[in-house]
Structures are given as structure tokens and as C-alpha cells.
Amino acid sequence: MDVLHLLGDGMLLSLQPLNLLMILLGVTVGLFIGAMPGLGSVNGVAILLPITFLVPPGSAIIFLAAIYYGAMYGGAVSSITLGIPGASTAVATTFDGLPMARQGRASLALVTAALASFVGGTIANILFTLFAPLLATVALSFGPPEVFALMLLAFATFVGLGGDDIPKTIFSICFGLVLGAVGFDQISGAPRLVLFDYNGFLQGIGFLVLAIGVYGIGEMLWTIDQTRGEVTATTPKMTVKGMATDARDFATRGWKGTAIGSFLGFFVGILPAAGATPGSLMSYGVAKMVSRNPGQFGKGSIDGVAAPEAANNSASTGSMLPMLTLGIPGSPTTAILLGGMVIWGLVPGPRLFVDEEEFVWGLIGSFYISNVAALLINLAFIPVFIWMLRMPFTILAPMIFVLSIAGGYASTRDMFDIWLMVAFGIGAFFMRKFEYPLAPAVLAIVLGPIAEPTLRQSLLLSSGDPSIFFTRPVAGPITIIALILIFLPALKLLRRLRPNGKETAR
């Protein structure tokens, strides 16, 4: 009851005129920041951080948190309507969101994204409110072996259920791992895979550069090739009755992906340095794994949109937990929020809930208000997003190309990355031409830089003994499940060959 009383006080505090204005303004700004390719919540919060010194610290952190919330919602907009991920957290949404838009179901995809985001954020807020200290302790108990086991499980969901052509899936993952290894070795500091001695490779390959190249330029080239230049614009209809029908479709067909994304996303989000991007990709893989129709994923599955969107919103709330309770940022965006709190004289950590009770519960209360505001504002702007799809492709294609280039440059301000992005777009086109899956490569370049150092740190801890991944109480079960999923295709192949073997013996 004390928790409910404190939460009620916090929500009343967040509904004060100034704080409510900060929430509405932050969510609206965040929605458009998230929808703009190359920006995302990290850049948005960093750019607007100086403005917050005009208001009290409590209102300032509420404003920045609202931007974070809005950006998580907004990332799905360009992913669904243009096929360009607004941020790295929305890459998985592109896998099924763009096919739905091309099938004339953009309204359903956008409504699904909004409602799944709302459910994911709500579940995460409830878990945050009830179990913050306990979950912070659990997150802290995750050492390198546990994190590596979790990353292995993420890879396994794509290997074991990535399609019938397992060799191509494995090749795609290995290709992504190679790209993720470019730059400086995180442990020794030595440069590796610096191709042709170009200094641009020393900084590594930015994930957003890869994502925009693959899903922006590559998808545009693929569409032009498939239609031989005769591309007609999709003409989705948008009515209030249609949105109500879309909401019912989401409730009946998108609940499983939403549930998976909400809980898995929050759990991954509370792990220090994980963030919403791995959470959304893992949720997509798990949703595909448990689906009765995994073949629909990548072709316009509602669960394929619901799972990553619920996950990235849930993870964004989860990443706040280690920041507030332990002083450890759970994502790049929360690292900027942490810096802002320190500047304002607030010290994150276990004492924050005691020394700054009003501030903490006001912030937690704002999570609930921001979530509702983001849903309403997002739904209100869906007709505007639908309007974008009515443009002829002769206008849309150059716009996609320009937005891709501008977004890539805005994220790094380096022309080398622009040429790299164009190369990735052309490479992605040929990968699709030869039927190599793109999603495993994208997953690998996100999780590879997390998996590699944790693998090496784990082996250093055990003096090279790999049994550390099986003997630890948390890492062991996760590793075993991951290995089962990895070898599942081989077992299926043996099962198919067994009847033939019996017939041959006769």
C-alpha cells in the first residue's frame, strides 16, 4: 500500500501544469525525433539537454524521459511507412512493418505498433514500480558468462528458426559478426580488419549506418528491381472505424508477440549496457520461435510488429532501473540522462529513493502519464503517416534516398560512413537477390560487440575452461536452451531422412 500511495503522489506531481506541459511537449518532440532517420532518442536527448536548465531539475528529467518515450514510439513510423529505421531500436519493426504497408495494411501496422508500445510500456512501468530494488539486484548478478549465454540464445533463435536454408542463415550471421569486429579490439586495443588501411574503419562500423543502408537504400533498390520501375503507390484507407477494426485485430492476433516483447524487453533492458535494440531483436526471434506460423514472419505478421515494438518501449523503461537504483546506465540514452542528473546535483544510487523520494516518484509517475500521452498523440498522427504512403513512388524513392543519406550523415557527420552506407545498400540488394536473409546479419552486428568481450572475459575468469557457461546457475540453463535451438535444424533433418533410410533398407 505504501508503494501505491507513493505512486499516487508521484502521478499527481507529474500532472502539475509545468510537468504536464513538459510531458506533452517531450512526447511530441520525441515522436518526430524517433521518426527521423539517423536521429533517435540518444541524439534527441543530447541535443535538447541544455534547454532543460531553464526549468527545475524534476521537470527537466521528466521532459527528457518523455522524449525517450516518444522516440520509442516514433521509431516505428519511418520503419513501417518508408522502410527506413528511425532508430536502431526500430530495425526489427521493419521486417514485417514494411511488408504490411506494401500490402495496404499500413494502418494496421501503425495501430499495432502504437498499442503494442503502450502495453509494453505499461507492463514495464508496473514491474518497475513493484520490483525495482529486487530487479536491480538480479541485473547486478549478471556477469560476463550470463550475458554471453543470453547473446547466444538470441543468435540461436535465428539459427534454429531462421528458415529452411540454414547454411545461408549461418553465413549471414557470420558476415554480421565480421562487420561487428571491425575497428579496435575492445580488450587488447589493437586495430583489426582495417580494410585497405582506411582510417574510417578504425572507428568501427556504426550500426545505424548499416541499418539505414540495408533497409533504406537496399530496400529501395530491391523494390525498383522487382517492379521494373513500374511502382504504384499504396493507397491505404484511414477511418475511425478502420482504426477500431485494427485494434480488434491487434487484440486477437498480436497479443502473443506483445506479451513476449513486454517481459523479455524489460528483462534485457535492465541489464547494464544492453538497451532496447538487443531486446527488440531478441523478442522478434522468440516470437517467431513460438509462433504457429513462423513462415509468416518477414511477410507481414502482426506479431512481427508487436513483439519488437512492445520490447523497445519496455526496455526503455527497464534501462531506467539500473540508472536510478545503481547509478549504472542501461542504455546510451540513460547514460545522457545520468549525466544530466549529476549536473543537477542528484546522485543516482540506492540512496536516491530515500534522499530524493519526491523526485523519484514524480519521475516514475511521469512514466505512466507519458505512456498514455504517447499513445494518444501517436494515434492522432497516424493519418499524417498514412498520407506519406499515398505519394507516387517516383517521388517517394528519391525522398527515401535523400532521407537515408541525410540520416546517415546526421548520426556520424562523416562522409566515409555515407559511402559505406551506399555500399551496404548495394550489398543488401544482392543478398536479397541471392536469397540470403538480412535479419541474422543485422542481429549479429548488434549483439556481436556485446557477445565477443563477454565471451573472452568469461574464459579469462575460468582460465580458458568453457564449462563456466554450464556450471553457473543462471548461465547454464540459458546456454543449454541456446544449444538445443542451434542443433534443432540438424535433428529435423535426421527425422526427415530416417523414413527414407527405412525404405532403402527394405
| pLDDT higher than 90, residue 353 | no
Percent of the chain's residues with pLDDT above 70: 84
In a domain? residue 124: yes
* Mean pLDDT, range 350-372, rounded to an integer: 83
Q: What pLDDT, in 10s, does the model give residues 153-163?
A: 877 776 654 55
Q: Which pLDDT does position 135 carry in this prediction? A: 67
Q: Which of 86-95, 216-225, 418-427, 432-441 has the highest mean pLDDT?
A: 418-427
Is pLDDT at 327 greater than 80 in this prediction? no
How far, in Å, CA of 330 to CA of 346, rounded?
Answer: 18
Query: What's 140-151 look like in SS3?
Result: HCCCHHHHHHHH
Question: What confidence tens digit (pLDDT) does each residue in 304-313 have?
Answer: 999 999 998 8
pTM for the model: 0.75
Q: What mean pLDDT do residues 453-462 have?
A: 89
Residue 418 lies in a domain: yes
Average pLDDT estimate for 124-153: 79
**Structurally, how many domains does the chain consist of?**
1
Domain that holds residue 175: 1-228+240-495
501 within domain boundaries? no
How many C-beta neighbours within 10 Å does residue 397 have? 17
Model pLDDT for residues 71-123, shown as the tens digit of each residue: 888 888 888 887 777 677 788 888 888 888 888 888 888 899 999 999 999 99
Half-sphere exposure of 481 (CA within 13 A, CB side): 14
pLDDT of residue 115: 92
Q: Does 35 map to a domain?
A: yes
Half-sphere exposure of 490 (CA within 13 A, CB side): 5
pLDDT tens, position by position, 248-277? 888 888 889 999 999 998 888 887 656 677
Instruction: List, in sequence order, every residue forming a beta bridge with 53; answer none if it has no partner.
Output: none
**Between residues 66 and 165, the one the model is more confident about:** 66
Q: Is residue 233 part of a domain?
A: no
Q: What does the pLDDT read at residue 227?
A: 63
Statement: residue 485 has pLDDT above 70: yes
Question: Is 235 a domain residue?
Answer: no
End-to-end Cα separation, the chain, in angstroms: 72
398 domain residue, yes or no: yes
pLDDT at 451: 84
Strands 183-184 and 191-192: antiparallel
* Domain presence at residue 500: no
